[in-house]
Amino acid sequence: MVAQTTRLYRELPQSVRHFLVKTALLLSGWLAVYHLLLKPFRFPDKYLTNIVIDGTVYLLQLLGFDTVSKGQWVYINNEFSVGIADQCNGLELMVLFIGFLLAIGGTVKSKLLYMLNGVILIFVLNVVRCTALAYMTHINAPLIDFAHHYAFKLVIYAVIFMMWYLYSQKEKKYS
């Protein structure tokens, strides 16, 4: 098994091997830093989760709903609607998006611009997702579990893949 994997790895083009090694190092480094240093203090989770909660409440209020938050819980018309936990704040998606950009080529300026725009788009999509889930819960929509576990994930991952594709095509054109 190890010999086969080593042989397959050596048969890959140099650029792909470089990408895989860089990705593995970035992922290992992120996981170590996050789980050992950041997660025990809920940094940046606490802040990002609170911003997503505030964004969800604000968007629901813009849509005309009487909405408040109490801790990580969102209420519409004084009825529980949705809870937004740290796992729902979009941090993993943002890190995944940034990690891919760091692992492929491109200028620092181009990467930073794409990272900033991508993180903002992921954040906005996540607030829209949480808002839609809160509304679906409020009206007792029968497809809330499907929307939460599948539909919204499919949409967000599709957008992330599209952003990666557009970035890689842009960088390929200029390199």
Q: Indicate if the pLDDT at residue 6 is higher than 90.
A: no
For residue 105, the model assigns a pLDDT of 82
Rg (alpha carbons) of the chain, rounded to whole number: 19
Q: Are residues 50 and 17 in the same domain?
A: no
Per the structure, how many domains does the chain have? 2
Query: How is residue 108 written in tokens?
Result: 């620092």
**The three-state (H, E, C) secondary structure of the chain, written as one string:** CHHHHHHHHHHCCHHHHHHHHHHHHHHHHHHHHHHHHHHHHCCCHHHHHHHHHHHHHHHHHHCCCCEEEECCEEEECCEEEEECCHHHCCHHHHHHHHHHHHHCCCCHHHHHHHHHHHHHHHHHHHHHHHHHHHHHHHCCCCCHHHHHHHHHHHHHHHHHHHHHHHHHHHHHHHC
Q: Are residues 21 and 57 in the same domain?
A: no
Q: Are residues 4 and 58 in the same domain?
A: no
Q: Render pLDDT for 34-48 as a digit per residue (tens, 0 to 9).
A: 999 999 999 999 999
Taking the C-alpha atoms of residue 68 and residue 77, their distance in angstroms, rounded to an integer, is: 8
Edge-to-edge order in the sheet of strand 67-70: 67-70, 73-76, 79-83
Q: Are residues 71 and 111 in the same domain?
A: yes
Mean pLDDT of 81-103: 95
Q: Are residues 94 and 157 in the same domain?
A: yes
Q: Which domain holds residue 12?
A: 1-40
Q: Are residues 34 and 108 in the same domain?
A: no
pLDDT band per the 50, 70, 90 thresholds, residue 1: confident
Q: Render pLDDT for 94-149 as a digit per residue (tens, 0 to 9).
A: 999 999 999 988 889 999 999 999 999 999 999 999 999 999 999 988 999 999 99
Q: Are residues 54 and 2 in the same domain?
A: no
